[in-house]
Amino acid sequence: MTDLIEQRETGSQADPAIEVSVVVPILNEEAYIGPCIESILKQDFPRERMEVLFVDGDSEDKTTAIIAQYQEKYPFIHCLHNPGRTVQLALNIGIRAAVGEYIVRLDAHSEYADDYISQSIATLKKTGADNVGGPMIACGKNAVQKVVAAAYHSPFALGGGKFHIADYEGYVDTVFLGAYKRQTILDLGLYDEDFPRSEDDEFNMRLHAHGGKVYMTPAIKSRYYPRDSYRKVFKQYYEYGVWKVAVIKKHKKPARLSHLVPISFVLFIAVFGLLSLFFSPARWVFGGVMGLYLLLDIYFSFSNKRVKGFVNKLRLMWVHFILHISYGLGFLQGIFQFAGKTFQPV
């Protein structure tokens, strides 16, 4: 899988006709890689002007075997090796190997509108922005995944980030995935390899710090399939919480309220939960706040039109709680983990 990189390092395989390099980090994506490739094959962007670089972190399922089947028929599809396994390393491997003027980052857990690539390139050219993308429209296949997808679009769950708003258009802090000129990210030093999570947040903050702009448009359409179990959701958002602290620390930016609410909630439960065992006033405060949280959870879960059925509404309540607790615990872990850590300046 490293042959392509070796060939390009020696200059023996660099097709000047390629305008766009699609980079897709992958790891154990057997359930999603086929539909992802099929949606790439349906793109209206000319195949002779693009390449697709899957960067695999030693998948232990049939992911690479499925890709190999497509490679036999479609020579513009390549599979590179990522010994480090993490997303930011995969992105850097793909970007270094790419020959296109533009990089379009894709995710194997997503499917893309037929004009996704062409709209991305057109938006880059039209707006002059340095990074462009569309909203994260989450979908589900099983019951839990559908509920998690609904939570992604709930202001109670994730704080209402703009890239979750389907019809928003304009300049933003960050976007889902993204497309940019290859030279732009090379000039910024690629993705920070110290960040196995929140690598896109860190990159976009660095881009803004150097005067760059990030633009979002609903014309760039895709469907994202989130984690399909409570355990996977907890693990993912715990890690997001940990690495959000690292992003804040590196860029010396104050945390937004949406970052601080989950950790405040976790600390409140720990402190007042303990105090309530011994002091009656603390018991009243603890009960009042948790009661208010429960009422808000009920309201946002049962008013969510994306979720049908009483049982699924209850599932959504549980997902809200998982997202808040996991992110808050991760953020707390990050405070201790990075207390003495020094990151390279922006």
Residues 6 or more apart whose Cβ sits within 8 Å of residue 320 = 151, 154, 156, 157, 297, 300, 301
For the record, the structure tokens of 90 come out as 């995969």
At residue 346, the pLDDT reads 59
State residue 124's pLDDT score.
Answer: 97
- Coil, helix or strand at residue 69: helix
Domains of the chain, each with CATH number or no CATH:
3-226 (3.90.550.10), 238-337 (no CATH)
Task: Please give the helix or strand (H or E) that residue 334 lies within, else none.
Answer: helix 310-337
pLDDT recorded at residue 4: 64
Q: With a cut of 50, which residues of the chain have pLDDT below it?
A: 10-12
CB 1 within 8 A of CB 55: no
* Burial profile 15-45: b = 16 or more Cβ within 10 angstroms, e = fewer: eeebbbbbbbbbbbbbebbbbbbebbeebeb
pLDDT of residue 160: 62
pLDDT score, position 158: 78
Q: What pLDDT was estimated at residue 10?
A: 44
Say what the pLDDT of residue 29 is: 92
Q: Where are the beta strands (DSSP E) in the chain?
A: 20-26, 50-56, 77-81, 102-105, 110-112, 131-134, 170-171, 176-181, 214-216, 222-224
Angle at 31 between CA 28 and CA 37, to 5 degrees: 90
Per-residue pLDDT reduced to its tens digit, 173-228: 889 899 999 999 999 999 998 888 888 889 998 999 899 999 999 999 999 999 99
Q: 47: which DSSP letter?
A: G
**For position 13, what pLDDT does the model report?**
55
